[in-house]
Structures are given as C-alpha cells and as structure tokens.
Amino acid sequence: MSCFRIKREQGFTIIELLIAMAITLAVIAALSTTFIFHRKAYNVQEQIVEMTQNARAAMGMMTSEIMMAGYGVPRPDPASDLSYWIDWVSGVTMNGNPILEDGAGASSSDIIHIAACFDGAAGSLSADASEGDTSITLQSGEGAGFNTTKKKVIRIDDLENAVITVISSDTLTIDTDPTTAGNQGLENDYESGDSVYIVKVISYSIVEETEGSKIIYTLKRNENLGAGRQPLAENIIDLQITQSGDTLEINPLKAQTDKHDPGYLQNNGYRICELRSFITPPNLGLGG
C-alpha cells in the first residue's frame, strides 16, 4: 500500500502582489525619468554643438575671404573707386573695397561685398605679349572660362589689371584703363606661360525664409556670377560688421539652435552663440 504526502504551497496574497507591482512601477518610473532627462540633455548638447559648428564654419570662411580683400584688384584713381571696373554686382556700386551695407540684410543685419582674385589662375598665356598690346592669347580652350560680363576683370601675372572687351576663341581683347575711350594697351611685357586671374566679388548676407510656420535665417554667399546666393550656414540670425581704417570687426556673428527648448526661459527658448573677429586684410593698404 502506497502512501502519498501532499505538499501544500502557499501563493502570494493580493496585498503582496500589489506591493510588488507598486515597487516595480516606481522603479520603472524612476528609470524612465532618468532616461528622459539624459535624452533631453543629450539633445540640448547636440543642438549646441551643431550651432557652434555652424557659427565657427561661417566665421572661418568669411574671415579667410575677407583677408583676401584687395588682392589682385585694380587700383584706380581715386583708389577706392572700382565702379569703372566692377559694374555687374546687382544693386551695389563698388566705390570701395570692401563695401558694407549697414542693416540691409534680414533683421537689420549687415551685408558685405569683397573684391579679390580669390581663386587660382583661370588661364595662362600661350604666347608672349608686349607693352602696348591690346590683346592676349590663352592656352587652347581656356578662353571659355572668361566672358565680357561677370568674368571680365582680369589680373595678368600679378602685375596689372585689364577689362576684357571682346573674346574670340582663346584671344582676349583687353582695355587696361576703362576710364579712357578706346582700348588701352598693356603697360608691361609678358612671357608665354604667365598666369591670368579673374577678379570676383563675393557677398555675404543673412536671408529670412519660411518653412511652414517656422522662420529660418540663413547666411548665404554669393559669387555674383549668376548662380545667386547659396546657403553657407543655417540659423545665423545676425551679422554686424564695422570698419576702421583697414581693419574690419565682425561683432557679432550670432547663431541660434535649430529647435526650441521649452525648458529654456531665455531668448524664446533658443540658445545663442556669438562670435567676434578682427580682420586686417594685408592688401587693402597696399597696391593691388
């Protein structure tokens, strides 16, 4: 005859289950709160890093190009008046270099226009050119990189400037003094292989645009060659520039975060970054 022993096990009571559930929910709530806090802090830091990088990148490019102001640019008499040479920049008379438009950009920000030979050589001579010549010939195919409208002011071998009046294949008819009637000839002799550069005008301005109900401020760069203003850095909300002698001061270049933070009580919830720079272009006080 077999005997069975019955083991009686007791389960959790309702009260114990409720206590366990309450503890579990409290732990989950604490973990969730911690996760949300750290996630928010991470997002804020990500926004600040992006804002700072945008501002520094914009300041870096502007500073490097402003430093070139005057390099390879004609030195007319008076030296500040470039209007006879540069006439293709819309709405701007180049009676100086750089040109500052006070408060002409979005939110009363400033606009700056800088003239210089910013790029490397656009061509080189395929034959010698003598003093008094009113034409130069470039290497085969290089004439296509010039025109008589927006790529017409050139610098030859870092010695003198000229305006292109006619282009025939790779032969450029030039005028070294646009203030005098007719085409004036070269003042120097040149050898085959000497470089030819293009004088450009680069403009920086802040533009206000809308994306749905959101207003976006973008710093844009314009080479004034027909492509229009191209975005350089978003969320740049102010640009103020002053000039004293040959020194320009950017103060400030102001950027803000892309997203609104309801927990940040200043500046309508947007964090701000301001940069300042002093720039003295070495070619402003010298000959071209």
pLDDT digits (tens, 9 = 90+) for 81-102: 899 999 999 999 999 999 999 9
pLDDT at residue number 106: 97
Taking CB atoms within 8 Å and a gap of at least 24, the contacts of 58-65 are 58/219, 58/232, 58/233, 58/236, 58/253, 58/255, 59/250, 59/253, 59/275, 59/277, 61/221, 61/232, 62/112, 62/204, 62/250, 62/253, 63/250, 63/277, 63/279, 65/114, 65/116, 65/118, 65/202
Contact 125, 196 (CB under 8 A): yes
Spans of the chain, pLDDT less than 50: 287-288
Residue 75: in which H helix or E strand, if any?
A: none
Q: Residue written as tokens 């010549």?
A: 133
Q: Are 51 and 257 in contact (CB under 8 A)?
A: yes
Q: Would you state the pLDDT for residue 43?
A: 78
Residue 134, both tokens: 């009113």
pLDDT in the model for residue 288: 40
